[in-house]
Amino acid sequence: MSTEAQTRPARPNGCTAGEGMCHVLTADAIAVSQPTSEINLLNLLIIDDERSMRESCREVAHSLGFNTHVADSPEHAYHSLDANPVDVVLLDLRLPGTGGLEVLREIKRRRPETLVIVMTGFATVQSAVQAMKLGAYDYITKPFNFDELRLVLERVTSHLKLTSENRLLREQLKSKHGFGSLVGHAPEMEKLYRIIAKAAHSTHPVLILGESGTGKELVARSIHYSGPYRDKPFIPVDCGSLVPSLIESELFGHVRGAFTGAVRAKDGLMTTAEGGTIFLDEVGELPVDLQTKLLRAIQEKEVRPVGGTRSVPINVRILAATNRDLEAAVQQGSFRRDLYFRLNVLTLRIPPLRERPQDIPLLIGNVLERVNAATQTQHAIGDDALRLMLAYNWPGNVRELENCVERACTTCSLSNIHVADLPTALRNFQAFPKPDFQSKEADAITPLDQVEKQAILHALDVLKGDKLQAARRLGIGKTTLYRKLKEYGSAV
């Protein structure tokens, strides 16, 4: 979204780095002002050839909380529409050249969901009526004052808010536990659902960030399946597990004879996903040369199969995910900055499970429901097990929780799951409560054996109960560690 234009270094000719086509842009032809986190704000594109008009409209729109983009010609407007998730367009009907009505037609063709308010300088009902017939949402006659413009923009804002709330409500109704197959009602998750609902109805790339097991793929699927192209393919590609020499042909396809073994031509996954979504999982693992080719494919909207001479047009929505710190990778030079900005139009951060413990009972219930239905059983969670699961820090997030409950269902002797049925990582967590190294009293003296005990328990906590590692890192023999633990009365 907006940060793209804001943070990319400008090229000397006015084109921003990473752009496919180079448009010579006037200083304010593409201007944006809000960080990506503000994605609940509406995006407004102002198209007018008069600078003072653009500036005045921008001022009013800013005061109403819009992200604004401005364009002084139809070409810049199309470029901005392609590059930004625009919700509303303020269009001057009296544009030189093509004329506003033609631009309106083109906007509606490219982005049918975008609401267009036309500004007409002639106050001719005729052109306004024509514009409304072509799908304009509203019109305003020039000259107008700030209050008139404010009124029109406020009207469009409440219209959009209402439609997105309705859409969200419909989506949420589908699942009583969360959103689609995503379970959780923590405020961070509710916020995530709102963003997913919005992202689903845009065609811009989304970068999904989150620790392992937080549900990145599930979120990608939710974006695809709650959007208008849900009937088209959703193609996940694990960039981390593909053999580097084969990634290019997997993504872009190859022609017959392109390499040894290429006995027949094959379409790439980018082409297979036509009209739908390609999900580039673990995108941070993509080798640098492939990053360059991917960037070109996204910009040019076409791919060239390996060994081929002709490019094939593609029409695919890109979602990407990683649990790596991509910003750091960009700093280190292992990930292309321009590709990062391309993928990062919208960013979704999925919170780790330890930050939303209130969802743990719901998630456990969800797994139990599934297991019980599949195995015709009546498993339930015991209070002791639930208490421990609520206190645990879940480094493997929802995936770890799912595995934990599924395993407990197969191993527990009674239908209620108790602490004894939980994996060692959890039981050790209980045995070694978090030690407190920092005494609240500055002059307090800690006996040496206490310091030793705290150091041992701390090491086990950090190393998730791995005693061999702990002994090695503490610089003591493993038998000494076992003996000490026995003294402390901890389960060995």
Ligand X SMILES: Nc1ncnc2c1ncn2[C@@H]1O[C@H](COP(=O)(O)OP(=O)(O)OP(=O)(O)O)[C@@H](O)[C@H]1O
C-alpha to C-alpha distance for 115 and 118, rounded to whole angstroms? 10
In the complex, minimum distance from the CB of residue 402 to ligand X, in angstroms, rounded to a whole number: 5
Binding range to ligand X, per CB under 6 A, among 109-117, 248-256, 396-404, 475-483: 396-404
Q: Is the CB of 141 or the CB of 175 nearer to ligand X? A: 175
- List, in sequence order, every residue forming a beta bridge with 115; answer none if it has no partner: 88
The footprint of ligand X on residues 170-189 (CB under 6 A) is: 182-184
- List, in sequence order, every residue forming a beta bridge with 282; answer none if it has no partner: none
Binding range to ligand X, per CB under 6 A, among 56-64, 394-402, 425-433, 466-474: 394-402
In terms of Cα–Cα distance, which of 105, 103, 67 is closest to 86? Answer: 67
C-alpha to C-alpha distance for 56 and 172, rounded to whole angstroms? 39
Q: Is the CB of 104 or the CB of 192 nearer to ligand X? A: 192
Binding mask 175-214 for Mg ion (x = CB under 5 A): ----------------------------------------
Burial of 468 (0-12, 13-18, 19+ CB in 10 A): exposed
Binding range to ligand X, per CB under 6 A, among 48-56, 208-216, 420-428, 438-446: 208-216
Binding mask 337-376 for ligand X (x = CB under 6 A): ----------------------------------------
Q: Tokens in use for 159? A: 């219209």
Within 283-349, where are the H helices? 288-300, 326-332, 337-343
**Kind and range of the H or E run holding 363:** helix 360-375
**Residue 215's binding partner out of Mg ion, ligand X, none, with CB under 5 to 8 Å set by partner kind:** ligand X
The residue count for binding ligand X (CB under 6 A) is 15
Beta strands 43-47 and 88-92 are parallel
In terms of Cα–Cα distance, which of 179, 192, 202 is closest to 110? Answer: 202
Answer yes or no whether residue 249 interacts with ligand X by CB under 6 A.
no
**Residue 50's binding partner out of ligand X, Mg ion, none, with CB under 5 to 8 Å set by partner kind:** none
3-state secondary structure of 463: coil
**Residue 218's binding partner out of ligand X, Mg ion, none, with CB under 5 to 8 Å set by partner kind:** ligand X
Contact 307, 257 (CB under 8 A): yes
In the complex, minimum distance from the CB of residue 252 to ligand X, in angstroms, rounded to a whole number: 24
Task: Please give the residue whose beta carbon sits closest to Mg ion in the complex.
Answer: 217
**Residue 126's binding partner out of Mg ion, ligand X, none, with CB under 5 to 8 Å set by partner kind:** none
Tokens 């950090």 belong to 462
Contact 426, 392 (CB under 8 A): yes
Among 74, 205, 213, 253, binds ligand X (CB under 6 A): 213
In terms of Cα–Cα distance, which of 65, 63, 61 is closest to 47? Answer: 61
Contact 39, 242 (CB under 8 A): no
Tell me the residue ranges of DSSP E strands in 249-343: 253-254, 266-267, 277-281, 302-303, 312-313, 317-322
Q: Is the CB of 279 or the CB of 341 nearer to Mg ion? A: 279
Q: Is the CB of 62 or the CB of 185 nearer to ligand X? A: 185
Conformational region of residue 238, where left means phi above 0, alpha means psi within -120 to 50, and beta covers everything else: beta
In the complex, minimum distance from the CB of residue 234 to ligand X, in angstroms, rounded to a whole number: 13
Q: Tokens in use for 331? A: 């700093």
Among 75, 211, 217, 300, binds Mg ion (CB under 5 A): 217
R_g (Cα) of the chain, nearest Å: 28
C-alpha to C-alpha distance for 211 and 428, rounded to whole angstroms? 22
Contact 422, 482 (CB under 8 A): no
In the complex, minimum distance from the CB of residue 217 to ligand X, in angstroms, rounded to a whole number: 3
Binding mask 402-421 for ligand X (x = CB under 6 A): x-------------------
Q: Tokens in use for 315? A: 């029409």
Peptide bond into 12 cis (omega under 30): no
Among 79, 216, 224, 304, binds ligand X (CB under 6 A): 216
Task: Please give the residue whose beta carbon sits closest to ligand X in the complex.
Answer: 215
Answer yes or no whether residue 398 interacts with ligand X by CB under 6 A.
yes
Among 18, 215, 284, 382, binds ligand X (CB under 6 A): 215
Q: Is the CB of 120 or the CB of 214 nearer to ligand X? A: 214
Binding range to ligand X, per CB under 6 A, among 117-125, 127-135, 206-214, 265-273: 206-214
Among 85, 205, 210, 305, binds ligand X (CB under 6 A): 210
C-alpha to C-alpha distance for 140 and 152, rounded to whole angstroms? 8
Measured CA to CA in angstroms, residue 122 lies from 11, 51, 119, 133 at distances of 39, 19, 9, 18
Answer yes or no whether residue 222 interacts with ligand X by CB under 6 A.
no
In the complex, minimum distance from the CB of residue 3 to ligand X, in angstroms, rounded to a whole number: 24
Binding mask 311-330 for ligand X (x = CB under 6 A): ------------x-------
Q: Using CB under 6 A as the criterion, which residues of the chain lie in contact with ligand X when the complex forms?
A: 182-184, 210, 212-218, 323, 398-399, 402
Q: Using CB under 5 A as the criterion, which residues of the chain lie in contact with Mg ion when the complex forms?
A: 216-217
